[in-house]
């Protein structure tokens, strides 16, 4: 018996039946698109878009793409200052929050770090020291959150600056750009002319 390719024999009693089966294709990658490198995909965008994406991925990278290297230290100094205030305010906030948890845990054997402080101590009349702890905790939490928002805004300005600078680099800034003011005769009614000035802008992109 001649069997077709990709077939199997099913035996049922004395006779046999040939049943065709679809071919098995191994390592079929036709369903998946070929992988593309991120840099190759970004290179197809416009230069302002590329500069913005680079600065979004890493602050200062878009400025390096625009060859504005002198702006990179300014960006990182700004980021360092904001980062320091975020760290310092968060450190103080966590310290006051920890002191409040220890002071209000109901265990007399635990003493917080501000227990003998002249402003936050437990020896102050009434609960004034504890209230001062709450005020300071809320104060430093607020400014930590504001610093985080400021850092996000600074990051956005870094992206915006790279995008705008890449746009401006596409304009002609040679010496041919000029504003010319020269005398001119303006036509009036009854075929008469009046003396005046004309301004001419030479802008090339």
Domain count, the chain: 1
pLDDT, tens digit (0-9, with 9 covering 90-100), for 113-158: 898 888 888 876 668 888 999 999 999 999 999 999 999 999 999 9
Q: Is residue 32 part of a domain?
A: no
**Separation of alpha carbons 24 and 48, rounded Å:** 49
Q: Is residue 7 part of a domain?
A: no
pLDDT, tens digit (0-9, with 9 covering 90-100), for 16-75: 555 555 555 555 544 544 545 666 666 677 888 888 899 999 999 999 999 989 999 999
Q: Is residue 58 part of a domain?
A: yes
Q: Is residue 1 part of a domain?
A: no
Position 200 confidence tier, pLDDT thresholds 50, 70, 90: low
- Say what the pLDDT of residue 47 is: 85
**Separation of alpha carbons 92 and 69, rounded Å:** 36
Choice between 9 and 198, residue whose per-residue pLDDT is larger? 198
Q: Is residue 148 part of a domain?
A: yes
Q: What is the DSSP letter of 16?
A: E
Q: Is residue 133 part of a domain?
A: yes
Q: Is residue 117 part of a domain?
A: yes
Q: Is residue 12 part of a domain?
A: no
Question: What phi and psi values does residue 152 have, to the nearest 5 degrees?
Answer: -65, -40
**Separation of alpha carbons 26 and 67, rounded Å:** 49
Domain that holds residue 92: 45-168
């Amino acid at each position: 018996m001649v069997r077709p390719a990709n077939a199997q024999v099913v035996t049922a009693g004395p006779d046999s039946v040939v049943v065709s089966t679809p071919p098995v294709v191994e390592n079929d990658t036709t369903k998946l698109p070929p992988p593309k490198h991120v840099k190759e995909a970004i290179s197809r965008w416009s230069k302002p878009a590329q500069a913005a994406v680079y600065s979004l991925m890493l602050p200062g990278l878009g400025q390096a793409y625009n060859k504005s290297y002198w702006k990179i230290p300014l960006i990182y100094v700004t980021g360092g200052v904001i980062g320091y205030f975020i760290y310092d305010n968060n450190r103080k906030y966590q310290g006051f929050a920890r002191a409040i948890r220890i002071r209000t845990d109901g265990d007399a054997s635990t003493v917080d770090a501000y227990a003998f402080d002249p402003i936050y101590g437990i020896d102050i009349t009434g609960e004034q020291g504890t209230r001062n702890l709450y005020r300071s905790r809320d104060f430093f939490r607020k400014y930590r959150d504001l610093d985080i928002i400021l850092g996000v805004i600074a990051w956005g300005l870094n992206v915006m600056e790279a995008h705008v600078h890449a746009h401006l680099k596409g304009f002609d800034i040679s010496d041919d750009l000029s504003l010319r003011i020269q005398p001119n005769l303006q036509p009036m009614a009854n075929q008469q002319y009046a003396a005046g000035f004309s301004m001419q802008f030479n802008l090339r992109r």
